[in-house]
Structure 1
Amino acid sequence: MTKRLFVLAGLGVTLLALTVAGLCIDPPAIARGAHVAKLGLLAALLGISAAVYFGSVLLIQRANWPKQTIWLVLGVAILLRLALLTTPPMLSTDIYRYVWDGRVQAHDINPYRYIPADPKLADLRDGTVYSHINRKEYARTIYPPFAEMIFGLAGRLWDGVTGIRLAMLACEALGIASMLWLLALAGLPRARILIYAWNPLALWSFASDGHVDAIAVGFVGLALLLRAKRRNGWAGAALAGAVMAKFLPIVVAPALLRGGRFWRPTLAGLAVILAAYAVYISAGRHVLGFLPTYGSEEGLDSGSGIWLLAGLAELTVLPAYASKLYALVAVLIFTLLSVLILRRAAPENDAQRLCQDAGMLAAVTMVAMSAHYHWYFAWLALPAVVAPSAALLWLATAPLLLIIGPIPHDRFLWPSLIYLPAAGLLLLDLLQRRAASRRPQNPPGEMSCPLPSR
């Protein structure tokens, strides 16, 4: 065991060294996108980091670790995040919009009302934040109300990139704490939190770039914990909080609603959503911000931004209805999977099955959506802590490849390195789940883990 601890510590130190090395590659040049070779070098370092991470995940699952191992895992996780806080955001400029929205709210202005370039907001502009805001000339903010509330709080407490980053790390800490508790409920070693805490995609997405998805991580983790503890209404409210920060987590709702637990979490979630939008309703129809036109800009409505359709378009001319047909098929597959999950009876202690179902729903959605940005995938590492699968771990890490695009305007060839393996692994996971469902739930010598008494 001592030897294994040394190996684990060595992997953690290696991951930290690779992260620091990445931070030394001229962060301002990478942030400006001014040096492709340096960005490629950073991508190579992140690829090596991913390999070290996968090795750590395999190791942490294949041994019985002493309780003290959790302090090693958390210590490395904290050092990694502190290191990434030492340089400006490198791989995205989205955080500057968060800072701007927080600043606008600190001046008691509804962030959905004006685009940043509006003359009415001229007094709030500076050279540090305003100049880095993307789409500032034509797009209102796209972020849901709960995210805006956190931006506003950060804007009042610490107007700047550091304030937003710390707010995102606090939300991430909520997710980590929830998963530590959930691991205990599942009867699994808490050292498995490494599966999320050392994930390089999550590290660079949140500690470095401060992406809003960290809020979703915190509240998805809380929702899973509350659902495992049978606090169904509160679980629905927590999931709604995640959805009001990043819409994507809505796809895990069937995992929370299975076993006949429907009305309480649904009503609680709807109440949270309505209350969140009510705070900003003075913006009228603009309360949805840039969202209605985002799909068009990203090529989702035309199909040009969808990986599979982009590949088919290389072979033949697709009909005008191709994207609608694709969406219909994707919805049908997701609906079928959801129905199968909703009909499944939940065991007494379903923490592991809960995370397995949530992870499957999230993975299917992300493959179908084929998002263009790496940080969209970081939240998938969360359910993998309790229920790791090859598809989930791949999708939670491999999108680091998206930080570079060797082929201009390519939506198929380079992304195929992510989505082809993901589709194969996802199919394998589905087949394994089907085979497992046909086996007896408690084979000889195996016992279910009971919930702790209250």
Structure 2
Amino acid sequence: MSQERIQLRHAGVRAWLTNIVLSVLGFILLDLTRQLIKEFHHFTIGFSGVSGWSVLVYLAAMALILTQPVNRYTFAIILTIAIACRLVTLLPEPFMSSDIYRYAWDGVVQHAHISPYRYVPGDPALTALRAPNQDLFDHINRRDYAHTIYPPVSQFLFFLITFLNPTVTFMKLAMILMEGLTMYSLVHLLTGMGFARERVLLYAWCPLLIWEIGSSGHLDSAAMAFIALALLARYRGRPLATGVFLGAAIFIKFYPLILFPALFRRGDYKMPAILAALGAFSYACYATVGMRVFGFLGGYIQEEGMRSGARYFLLELTQHIPGLHVLPVPAYMVFVACVFAAILVWCWKTASSLAPGEVRGSLWTEALNLPATANFLPPAMVLAFAMMLLFSPHYPWYVAWLVPFFTLMPSLPLLAYTSGLFYLCATQLGAGTAESEFLLNRILYTGVLVALGIDVVWRQWTMRHSVAQRRSPHE
């Protein structure tokens, strides 16, 4: 038997071992998902126990899929476990967040031919809608003082979903199906860039998504779906589709706007034009309420400490330095503006070239092993990651949109941030007090900093090793 055939046979055996180990890990993750539902009503190992073990299983599965050979059955195993975990979370009512009840309520209100921005849920004008939808109304947070905060495209989705079935379970199902669009886009991006489609496990098995999308049904799933579609359209050089999908993501959740500089191609204004047109049209559909179309946005900014500065961990950390305890919020905003200005200059140089002949690789694409045509992905990831670090959200579902970027460009700091926040929020540090939140962020940001140092050293070593290997034949 030739050496080549022996190697192929060995690789085939290793692929089957990969599938066996992956199946075992998948069943453990599925059992932990079942345990999550049990923890809603009966303490056994606690949410921190479930989240901690889930992260460990996820890390093991990720290491396996990134380093070991696979075969045609591996992808089916990944999808089967991902679907099974989300089915386990589908029927039980949301326990960790009640946001989804507002989604369904907004849809019900629209079917009564009333703008969801006009009244708060507790307004007497909506009394007739309560009895048929009492379960929704009883679970809505801020129902007596907060108008809906969700932008127009999200309201289109709520209208369509509740037209089919105005229940929380069906809303959760819709958000889970949105994940199918995200995985579709990620698989096509991965294979287009020359990576194995099985890497989609980094998204599909992420416990943060199983909890926050599968169990809680957060709207971020829809935003992620359109972000992923926008990345795919940008990779394929389709500016109109990029504008439509990025615009849909922005007017579902505002934060994807930060990706615009990375997805814009210098000299091509089709993408920003269609994006602006989509925004104008979507807001025009609800313009009868005037400025109330922006809903509870101002109140939310106040509640979340964005005006007072309590929301920003790096500002609070700086204020602990002697002599800087009175550092004002505007000074921090200037710092944030400078950081983003530097990133935008980099985006302009590396991600916005128009002609295919102008597209060149960069140190980042080489370091991440990406093709030159994917030169927009590192800037997009950096913009998204920088936004989260600078504005320090304290809810794990706010960082869920970073997971697709991690799937396309595995990064130790990104892993430390998303998995760290997910786990720490399930511990006593996630209690929500100012003291616990500050300590949580100190641990989290320290972990990210350590991960960044390790990542830089590792990438420098691998790049030098790669260069040495390429030079050795000529020496």
When normalised by structure 1's length, the TM-score is 0.89
TM-fit CA distance, 1:296: 1.3
Number of aligned residue pairs: give it. Answer: 435
Aligned to 1:311: 317
TM-fit CA distance, 1:341: 2.3
Letter in 1 for 2:269: W
> Partners of 2:464 and 2:150 in 1: how far apart?
43
Aligned partner (choices 276, 282, 306) of residue 288 of structure 2: 282
CA distance 1:214–1:39, shift in 2 (3 Å):
farther
* Pairing 1:402–2:428 present: no
> Partners of 1:262 and 1:250 in 2: how far apart?
18
Letter in 1 for 2:23: A
> Superposed, which structure 2 residues align to 1:57-76 within 5 Å?
57-76=62-81
* Pairing 1:271–2:296 present: no
* Pairing 1:205–2:205 present: no
Question: Does structure 1 retain, via aligned residues, the 8 Å contact 2:319–2:327?
Answer: no
Aligned to 1:26: 40
> Partners of 1:86 and 1:107 in 2: how far apart?
27
Q: What do residues 377-431 of structure 1 show as CA deviations (whole Å, max 9, x unaligned)?
A: 1111102222111122223322222244446333311222222222443566678
TM-fit CA distance, 1:78: 0.4
Aligned to 1:333: 339
Question: Does structure 2 retain, via aligned residues, the 8 Å contact 1:216–1:246?
Answer: yes
> Superposed, which structure 2 residues align to 1:15-414 within 5 Å?
15-27=29-41, 38=43, 41-126=46-131, 127-258=134-265, 260=266, 262-314=268-320, 322-344=328-350, 346-347=359-360, 349-350=371-372, 352-400=374-422, 401-406=424-429, 408-410=433-435, 411-414=437-440
CA distance 1:39–1:262, shift in 2 (3 Å):
farther
Identity of aligned residues (%): 33
CA distance 1:160–1:317, shift in 2 (3 Å):
farther
Letter in 1 for 2:112: H
> Partners of 2:44 and 2:121 in 1: how far apart?
29
Question: Does structure 2 retain, via aligned residues, the 8 Å contact 1:308–1:412?
Answer: no
CA distance 1:99–1:184, shift in 2 (3 Å):
same
CA distance 1:242–1:427, shift in 2 (3 Å):
farther
Task: Structure 1 unaligned segments of length 5 or more: list them.
Answer: 30-37, 446-454
Question: Does structure 2 retain, via aligned residues, the 8 Å contact 1:360–1:392?
Answer: no
> Partners of 1:301 and 1:170 in 2: how far apart?
36
Task: Structure 2 unaligned segments of length 5 or more: list them.
Answer: 1-13, 354-358, 362-370
Which of the two has greater helix per residue?
Answer: 2
> Partners of 1:436 and 1:329 in 2: how far apart?
33
Q: What do residues 323-380 of structure 1 show as CA deviations (whole Å, max 9, x unaligned)?
A: 2111221121122112112202634854654333322221111011100111001111
Letter in 1 for 2:434: H
> Partners of 2:92 and 2:185 in 1: how far apart?
29
Question: Does structure 2 retain, via aligned residues, the 8 Å contact 1:380–1:395?
Answer: no
Letter in 1 for 2:199: R
When normalised by structure 2's length, the TM-score is 0.85
> Partners of 1:114 and 1:424 in 2: how far apart?
48
Question: Does structure 2 retain, via aligned residues, the 8 Å contact 1:186–1:386?
Answer: no
Letter in 1 for 2:242: A
TM-fit CA distance, 1:314: 4.9
Question: Does structure 2 retain, via aligned residues, the 8 Å contact 1:220–1:238?
Answer: yes
Question: Does structure 2 retain, via aligned residues, the 8 Å contact 1:96–1:133?
Answer: yes
Letter in 2 for 1:169: I
> Partners of 1:363 and 1:11 in 2: how far apart?
29
TM-fit CA distance, 1:308: 2.2
> Partners of 1:437 and 1:198 in 2: how far apart?
29
Question: Does structure 1 retain, via aligned residues, the 8 Å contact 2:243–2:275?
Answer: yes
Aligned partner (choices 396, 409, 415) of residue 441 of structure 2: 415
> Partners of 1:219 and 1:194 in 2: how far apart?
19
Question: Does structure 2 retain, via aligned residues, the 8 Å contact 1:202–1:378?
Answer: yes
> Partners of 1:70 and 1:285 in 2: how far apart?
48
Q: What do residues 81-116 of structure 1 show as CA deviations (whole Å, max 9, x unaligned)?
A: 001113111210111111111110111110011111
CA distance 1:223–1:139, shift in 2 (3 Å):
same
Letter in 2 for 1:409: A
> Partners of 2:404 and 2:160 in 1: how far apart?
25
TM-fit CA distance, 1:315: 5.6
Question: Does structure 2 retain, via aligned residues, the 8 Å contact 1:202–1:379?
Answer: no
Structural RMSD (CA): 2.7
Q: Which runs of 4+ in 1 moved over 6 A?
A: 430-443
Question: Does structure 2 retain, via aligned residues, the 8 Å contact 1:91–1:403?
Answer: no
Q: What do residues 37-91 of structure 1 show as CA deviations (whole Å, max 9, x unaligned)?
A: x497112211110111111111111123213211111111000100111311121
| SS class of match (1:140) | coil
Question: Does structure 2 retain, via aligned residues, the 8 Å contact 1:379–1:396?
Answer: no
> Partners of 1:402 and 1:144 in 2: how far apart?
27
